Amino acid sequence: MEDTVQITCTRCKATFRDRARRIQGGYSRQCPNCEVILFFEDASFDKNVQTALKEAKKVRRALREEEERPAPTRAPSDREGDSRTGGEGRKIDLGRRGRSGRNEET
């Protein structure tokens, strides 16, 4: 799920995105287009600010519910396609292979 909220600037009407976890009462953000500072307050009269606050609250709630759900556990047979293991589940050595091609006798 996407964790950003679309914000419409009150001055230039440009739209931009910011993280939903940031957009709460007391947060302020500068418009990247016209550089006016938007104040996100619950008692704001600006419809764009109210809309962004409501949308951010919905997204935060959805993210919280998603985090609370237990992640489905995968069976060991599902891991056969893992790139770090061989066909029988053995680990493959990803380190260096010997010295840089030189003969140790010289």
Measured CA to CA, the distance from residue 89 to residue 106 in angstroms comes to 39
Question: What φ, ψ does residue 15 adopt, rounded to 5°?
Answer: -110, 145
pLDDT at residue 100 in the model: 54
Measured CA to CA, the distance from residue 59 to residue 4 in angstroms comes to 8
pLDDT at residue 29 in the model: 93
Long-range residue pairs from 30-39, CB within 8 A, at least 24 positions apart, any chain: 33/9, 34/9, 36/9, 36/10, 36/11, 36/12, 38/7, 38/9, 38/10
The residues of the chain scoring below 70 in pLDDT are 1, 71-72, 74-106
